[in-house]
Amino acid sequence: MTDPISPPHRPWRIVHSEASCGWGGQEHRVMAEMRGFQQRGCATWIMAEAHSQILARAGEVGIGTVPVRFKKSRMLIDAIRLAAWLRRERIEVLNTHSSRDGWLLGIAGRLARVPLLIRSRHIDVEYPTPWVSRHAFTTFADHVLTTSQKITDHFQRIFHLSDDRITTLPTGIDVQRFHPQGAKADLGLTGEGPVVGMVSVLRSWKGHPVFFDAARLLRDSGRRIRFVVVGGGAPIERFQDLAEKHGVRDLIHFTGHREDVPEVLRALDLLIIASTRHEGVPQIGLQALACQTPVIGSDCGGIPEIIREGETGRIVPIEDAPALAARIAEALDQATTTRTLAEQGRKFVETKHSLETMLDHLDRLYRRAIP
């Protein structure tokens, strides 16, 4: 609920930091927050490596950019320098997203007495020395944001965070851009048959081998399905070789990185999220639901929080290719049920996970922390 005394959108001065140089779901989330608040009249900046993709993309849309080198050997002097910048720009909210920038900007934020320090966590990983890691989420952060309830539960267990120190907030989706109505991408496929695909950054834990094995099982059972892998990040040849080892190189079409994600999702008959670890709530899952693209997800991380069995999609055990193959066949054969799940998925995103809903939640968090 909006504060009746405060204006609808307060013009915050917000800085995000990101040590990653790639362009995956985490970076998309950072950009979504910055652009959303920029469009609400706030001043926003990104601190990142000079050669990072997010710094370049932020600059293209008018977001302030501050090149930073995240080196341990320079941490103290850089923290002092950045603290001076934060004070000079009167920054109210500082949100860090990775380990290296979390420590550096956490220290700088404390030195500059930034009113609200937020530490965001996008994936679920283990912390071998929690008594050390805890400081990144307590001493150098006033509040922790996670993308899934599973990550929140993990943090509360190992770092002993109270409910008022941590918030679960998956990335909000632009439901106008990600919509069932609209153009469909040309994926370069030939032949006939339903299109089943994965859309993700090419990383080891996204479950491509499980997808390849499921594709082989379906082919061997006589199914005529076209399989596609969309995404970049790692060298695509590495994943093509992996498909070869699993006996499906001729069956899998690789498109590489695509920017037209809504169009890609609308071109799929079924999206597969086969992650095996490190997964929060994947944005591609919410984007697919918003496009009414049917989804099958693995029982990994926060995936079941949005791909709800029998409500918005189907769930399979982690690394279980036969189960995945069976659910793909089921989803294609039970077209009416699959369509109903997809329609319910769209409503789920509209009511709970839109971009505006995410920004409103963040705005309320800022208002509670800053007079």
Instruction: Encode pLDDT of 244-294 as tens digits.
Output: 999 999 999 999 999 999 999 999 999 999 999 988 899 999 999 999 999
* Residue 149 near residue 168 (C-beta atoms within 8 A): yes
CATH number of this structure's domain 195-352, picked from the four choices 1.10.3720.10, 3.40.50.2000, 3.90.550.10, 3.40.50.2300: 3.40.50.2000
What's the chain's average pLDDT?
Answer: 94
**Residue 29: C-alpha distances to residues 115, 214, 215, 354 (Å):** 22, 30, 31, 13
Residue 3 has pLDDT above 70, yes or no: no
Q: What pLDDT is attached to residue 241?
A: 97
**Residue 120: C-alpha distances to residues 57, 95, 125, 165, 171 (Å):** 20, 7, 13, 12, 11
The model's pLDDT over 75-104, given as tens digits with 9 standing for 90+, comes to 999 999 999 999 999 999 999 999 999 999
Average the pLDDT over 213-238 and give the result: 96
> What are the residue boundaries of the structural domains of the chain, listed by start?
13-172+354-369, 195-352
Q: What pLDDT is attached to residue 8?
A: 58
Nearest to 345 by CA among 180, 149, 170: 180
Average the pLDDT over 333-362 and give the result: 97
Residue 10 has pLDDT above 90, yes or no: no
Give the Cβ contact number of residue 129 at 10 Å: 7
Residue 195 has pLDDT above 90, yes or no: yes
**Residue 206: C-alpha distances to residues 16, 118, 312, 333 (Å):** 26, 27, 21, 26
Distance CA 189, CA 220 (A): 20
The model's pLDDT over 102-118, given as tens digits with 9 standing for 90+, comes to 999 999 999 999 999 99
Residue 6 has pLDDT above 60, yes or no: no
Q: One-letter amino acid identity for 70? A: F
Domain 13-172+354-369 class, CATH top level: alpha beta
Q: What pLDDT is attached to residue 216?
A: 98
**Residue 73: C-alpha distances to residues 47, 69, 79 (Å):** 18, 10, 11
Nearest to 314 by CA among 331, 301, 329: 331
* Residue 328 near residue 139 (C-beta atoms within 8 A): no
Average the pLDDT over 333-338 and give the result: 98
182 backbone dihedrals φ, ψ, rounded to 5°: 150, 180
Q: What pLDDT is attached to residue 187?
A: 97
Task: Let me know if the fold of 13-172+354-369 is the same as that of 195-352.
Answer: yes
What percentage of the chain has pLDDT greater than the value 70? Answer: 98
